[in-house]
C-alpha cells in the first residue's frame, strides 16, 4: 500500500534517479563522470562487452553472417570496375562477344549482391531477436529479485520504457548494426583500393574530400548522441506520466484535475517533441551536407578527368567508373552515419538496461528448493530499528515475542508503523539494527523461499492479476485440484459470489480486479491465503468499509484463516481485536502496551483511548 502511495507521488525523474541503490549509484557516478569528461570510450566498451556476451551463444550465426557480409562487400565495388573494362576493352574496340561476357559477369555480380543482402539481413535479424529474447528474460528475472525499496523509487512507467522501448532499440542495433557497419567499412576499403588501382591521381581527388567529411561526421555523431539521450529521458518521463495518469484517471476526474494534468502532460510532451526535433535537425543538416560534398567531388573528378581526357591521358571507362565510385563511396559513408542513429539510441538504451541489471538484487529464486522451515516455537523481535529513509526511524527499539499458535493483533494510529512490522518480517525491507529471529534463527539466515512459504501475507490492498478467478485463487500453485479450490472458497464463504459471476471460477478478472467489489477482493485474498496454507499468517485488515453482510462474511473468514495458525493481524475491526490472544499497541514506532482486550481496557491507557475513539458508545 505504501509503495503505491509512493509511486503516485509526483517526483521528477531526475530526483527519482538520484535515489538509486548504492551499487547502481557508484556505477552511474563513475560512468557519468566519464561522460562529462567526454571520455565515453570506456563506458562504450563496457556496454559493448556486455552486449557481446548476449550474442556469444550464437557464434556460428554471427560468423556466418559476418563472413557473408564481409566476403560479399567486394561485389558492389566490382561493378564500376567491370563497367570500366566493358567500355575500355570491349566497346572501344567493338568486341561484342567480349561485351556479352562481361555483361553476364556484371549481371552475376548484381545477383550475388542481392543474395548476399538477403542472407545477411535474415541471419542478423535472427541473432538480434535471439539476443533480445535473452536480455528481456534477464531483465524480468532481475526485476523479480529486486527489493521493495527499488520499486518504491522507480516509477512503473520508467521501468516499462526499459523493458519495452529500450530493449527494442538494442534489437535494432544487434540485428542491423555492427555486422553491417563492418560490411560498410570493408566496402569502403575495397572502393578505395580499386580506385587507387585504376587511377591513383583521380583517387586522391576523391579522397581529398575525406577529412572534411570525417570532421562533419564526428561533429554530427557527438551532437546526435546527446540528443538521443535526451529523447530517451523524455520518453521515460512521458511513459511514467501516462502510466500514472491512466491508472489514476478516476482520481483526476473526481478531483476535476483534467485541466492542470493536461498542462503537465503538455509540458512533458513538449520536452519530448523538442528533443526529437533536435535529433531531426542534426540529420536534416548532415544529409544535405554530405550530398553537397559528394556532388562537389563528382564535379572535381569530372573537371580533372576532362583535362586529362583532352590530353589523351585518361580513358572514358576510367571516367565513367570513377563517377560510379563517387556515389558508391559516399553511400556506405552515409550508411555509417545512419547506423550512428541506431547505435546512439542503442548505447543510450543499453546503458539504461544494464544499469537496471546492475541494481543490487535480493535473493534469486534460482537453485535447488531450500529445506522447508518448520516453525516450532517463537518469533522474537529484539531492539529492532527500521527506517525507509536513513535516520527517519519508523520502528524504534521494538521488542516483542510471538509464540507458536498465538493470535496477535497489532493496533495503533495510522502511520504508527503497523504495516512496517509486516514489511520487515516478510523481509520486503531489511531492518537496520537489532534482530528478528524465528526459532532462534536470524531472519536474514532463512532462505527467502522458505521464509515466504512459511509466512503467508494478506495485504490491505488486494492485488489481482488479469486472468480467471481460479488462476487468481491458485496463484503460485496452479496445479491445485479444482476440488481443493472449491473447498477453500466454501470454507471462506467466497463460493456464493463466485458462483454468481458469469462463468463462475472461469470468470475473467479485469486488470487489478476492476469489476469486483472491495469485499469480494478481500474474500479472494483469503481463499488464496488458505490455499497457500502458511504456518504463520500475517494479515493487514482492509480499512475499506463493506456492507454488514460482507462484514460478517469477512469476520467469519478471518476466524477460519486464523484457526490453528500463528497469526499476526493488523486489526481494524473490533471483533478481530477481541478474538486475539494478545493485543500490541503501537505508537509512533514504539510498543506502548500489550495484553488482552480486557486487560488493556482496565489499564485505561492508549488502547482505551483508541477504543473510545472508535466506539464512543463504550464510554
- How many alpha carbons lie under 13 Å from residue 583 in its C-beta half-sphere? 27
**Rounded-to-integer distance, Cα 561 and Cα 537, Å:** 8
- CB 428, min distance to ligand ATP, A: 9
Q: Is 2 in the site for ligand ATP (CB under 6 A)?
A: yes
Among 152, 261, 358, 495, interactor with ligand ATP by CB under 6 A: 152
Report the distance separating Cα 486 and Cα 134, nearest Å: 39
The 3-state DSSP class for residue 384 equals strand
d(CA 454, CA 475): 16
**Piece in contact with ligand ATP (CB under 6 A), picked from 233-241, 386-394, 468-476, 525-533:** 386-394
Three cell numbers written together for 6: 509512493
114 contributes a contact to ligand ATP by CB under 6 A: no
Contact (CB, 8 A) for 439 and 601:
no
- How, if at all, do strands 433-438 and 441-442 pair? antiparallel
Q: For ligand ATP, which residue of 16, 229, 420, 576 counts as binding (CB under 6 A)?
A: 420
The owner of cell 509512493 is 6
> For residue 486, what are the contacts with CB-CB under 8 A and spacing of at least 6?
495, 505
169-to-54, 125, 177, 180, 448 alpha-carbon distances in Å: 15, 13, 11, 16, 35
Q: Would you give the binding string for ligand ATP spanning residues 388-407, x where CB under 6 A is met?
A: xx----x-------------
Does residue number 440 form part of the binding site for ligand ATP (CB under 6 A)? Answer: no
Q: Cβ closer to ligand ATP: 202 or 585?
A: 585
Question: Can you tell me which residue has the cell 503467508?
Answer: 456
CB of 609 to ligand ATP, least distance (A): 16
Shortest Cβ 401–ligand ATP spacing (Å): 20
Residue pair 531/485 in contact (Cβ under 8 Å)? The answer is yes
Longest dimension (CA), the chain: 121
Half-sphere exposure of 27 (CA within 13 A, CB side): 19
Which residue number, 556 or 590, has a Cβ lying nearer to ligand ATP? Answer: 590
Which of 419, 426, 520, 567 is the binder for ligand ATP (CB under 6 A)?
419
3 binding ligand ATP? (CB under 6 A): yes
DSSP 290-355: HHHHHHHHHHHHHHHHHHHHHTT-S-HHHHHHHHHHHHHHHHHHHHHHHHHHHHHHHHHHHHHHHH
Of the candidate residues 67, 372, 415, 476, the single one contacting ligand ATP (CB under 6 A):
415
Number of residues that bind ligand ATP (CB under 6 A): 15
Query: CB of 159: closest distance to ligand ATP in angstroms?
Result: 16
**Does residue 414 touch ligand ATP according to CB under 6 A?**
yes
Binding of ligand ATP by 385 (CB under 6 A): no
Backbone angles phi, psi at 409, to 5 degrees: -110, 130
Alpha helices in 359-461 (DSSP H): 418-425, 448-454
Task: Assess 471 for contact with ligand ATP (CB under 6 A).
Answer: no
Q: Which is nearer to ligand ATP, 3 or 223 (CB)?
A: 3
Least distance CB 425 / ligand ATP (angstroms):
12
In this chain, which of 239, 344, 416, 472 binds ligand ATP, going by CB under 6 A?
416
Verify binding: residue 417, ligand ATP, rule CB under 6 A.
Answer: yes
Is 19 a binding residue for ligand ATP by CB under 6 A? The answer is no
Residue nearest to ligand ATP (CB): 2
- From the list 136-144, 184-192, 290-298, 387-395, the region that binds ligand ATP by CB under 6 A is 387-395
Q: Which residues bind ligand ATP (CB under 6 A)?
A: 2-3, 6, 152, 388-389, 394, 412, 414-420
Amino acid at each position: 500500500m505504501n509503495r503505491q502511495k509512493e509511486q503516485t507521488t509526483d517526483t521528477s525523474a531526475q530526483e527519482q534517479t538520484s535515489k538509486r541503490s548504492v551499487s547502481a549509484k557508484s556505477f552511474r557516478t563513475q560512468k557519468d563522470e566519464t561522460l562529462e569528461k567526454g571520455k565515453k570510450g570506456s563506458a562504450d566498451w563496457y556496454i559493448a562487452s556486455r552486449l557481446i556476451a548476449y550474442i556469444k551463444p550464437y557464434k556460428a550465426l554471427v560468423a556466418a553472417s559476418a563472413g557473408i557480409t564481409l566476403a560479399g562487400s567486394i561485389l558492389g565495388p566490382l561493378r564500376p570496375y567491370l563497367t570500366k573494362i566493358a567500355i575500355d576493352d570491349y566497346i572501344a574496340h567493338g568486341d561484342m562477344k567480349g561485351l556479352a561476357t562481361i555483361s553476364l559477369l556484371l549481371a552475376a555480380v548484381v545477383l550475388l549482391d542481392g543474395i548476399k543482402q538477403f542472407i545477411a539481413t535474415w541471419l542478423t535479424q535472427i541473432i538480434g531477436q535471439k539476443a533480445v529474447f535473452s536480455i528481456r528474460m534477464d531483465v524480468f528475472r532481475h526485476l523479480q529479485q529486486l527489493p521493495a525499496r527499488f520499486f518504491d523509487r522507480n516509477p512503473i512507467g520508467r521501468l516499462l520504457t526499459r523493458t519495452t522501448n529500450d530493449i527494442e532499440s538494442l534489437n535494432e542495433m544487434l540485428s542491423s548494426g555492427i555486422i553491417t557497419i563492418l560490411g560498410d567499412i570493408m566496402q569502403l576499403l575495397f572502393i578505395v583500393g580499386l580506385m587507387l588501382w585504376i587511377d591513383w591521381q583521380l583517387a586522391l581527388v576523391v579522397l581529398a574530400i575525406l577529412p572534411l567529411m570525417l570532421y562533419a561526421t564526428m561533429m554530427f555523431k557527438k551532437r546526435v548522441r546527446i540528443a538521443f539521450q535526451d529523447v530517451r529521458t523524455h520518453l521515460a518521463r512521458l511513459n511514467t506520466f501516462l502510466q500514472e495518469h491512466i491508472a489514476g484517471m478516476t482520481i483526476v476526474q473526481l478531483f476535476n484535475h483534467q485541466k492542470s494534468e493536461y498542462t503537465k502532460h503538455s509540458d512533458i510532451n513538449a520536452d519530448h517533441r523538442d528533443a526529437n526535433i533536435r535529433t531531426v535537425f542534426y540529420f536534416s543538416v548532415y544529409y544535405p551536407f554530405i550530398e553537397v560534398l559528394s556532388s562537389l567531388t563528382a564535379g572535381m573528378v569530372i573537371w580533372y578527368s576532362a583535362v586529362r581526357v583532352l590530353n589523351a591521358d585518361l580513358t572514358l571507362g576510367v571516367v565513367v567508373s570513377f563517377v560510379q565510385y563517387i556515389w558508391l563511396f559516399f553511400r556506405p559513408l552515409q550508411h555509417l552515419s545512419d547506423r550512428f542513429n541506431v547505435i546512439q539510441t542503442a548505447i543510450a538504451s543499453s546503458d539504461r538496461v544494464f544499469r537496471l541489471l546492475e541494481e543490487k538484487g535480493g535473493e534469486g529464486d534460482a537453485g535447488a528448493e531450500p529445506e522447508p522451515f518448520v516453525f516450532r516455537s517463537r518469533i522474537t523481535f529484539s531492539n529492532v530499528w527500521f527506517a525507509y529513509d536513513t535516520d527517519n526511524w519508523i520502528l524504534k527499539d521494538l521488542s516483542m515475542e510471538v509464540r507458536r499458535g498465538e493470535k496477535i493483533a497489532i493496533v495503533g494510529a495510522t502511520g504508527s508503523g503497523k504495516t512496517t512490522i509486516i514489511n520487515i518480517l516478510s523481509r520486503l525491507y531489511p531492518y537496520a539494527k537489532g534482530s528478528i529471529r524465528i526459532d532462534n534463527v536470524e531472519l536474514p539466515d532463512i532462505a527467502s523461499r522458505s521464509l515466504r512459504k512459511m509466512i503467508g501475507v494478506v495485504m490491505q490492498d488486494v492485488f489481482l492479476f488479469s486472468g480467471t478467478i481460479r488462476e487468481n485463487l491458485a496463484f503460485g500453485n496452479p496445479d491445485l485440484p479444482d476440488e481443493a479450490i472449491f473447498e477453500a472458497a466454501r470454507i471462506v464463504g467466497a463460493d456464493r459470489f463466485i458462483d454468481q459471476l458469469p462463468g463462475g471460477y472461469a470468470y475473467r478478472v479485469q486488470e487489478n480486479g476492476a469489476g469486483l467489489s472491495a469485499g469480494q477482493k478481500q474474500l479472494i485474498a483469503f481463499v488464496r491465503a488458505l490455499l497457500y496454507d502458511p504456518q504463520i499468517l500475517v494479515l493487514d485488515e482492509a480499512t475499506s468499509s463493506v456492507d454488514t453482510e460482507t462484514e460478517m462474511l469477512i469476520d467469519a473468514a478471518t476466524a477460519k484463516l486464523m484457526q490453528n495458525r500463528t497469526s499476526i493481524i493488523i486489526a481494524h475491526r473490533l471483533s478481530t481485536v477481541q478474538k486475539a490472544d494478545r493485543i500490541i499497541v503501537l505508537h509512533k514506532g514504539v510498543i506502548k502496551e500489550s495484553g488482552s482486550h480486557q486487560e488493556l481496557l482496565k489499564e485505561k491507557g492508549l488502547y482505551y483511548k483508541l477504543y473510545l475513539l472508535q466506539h464512543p458508545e463504550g464510554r
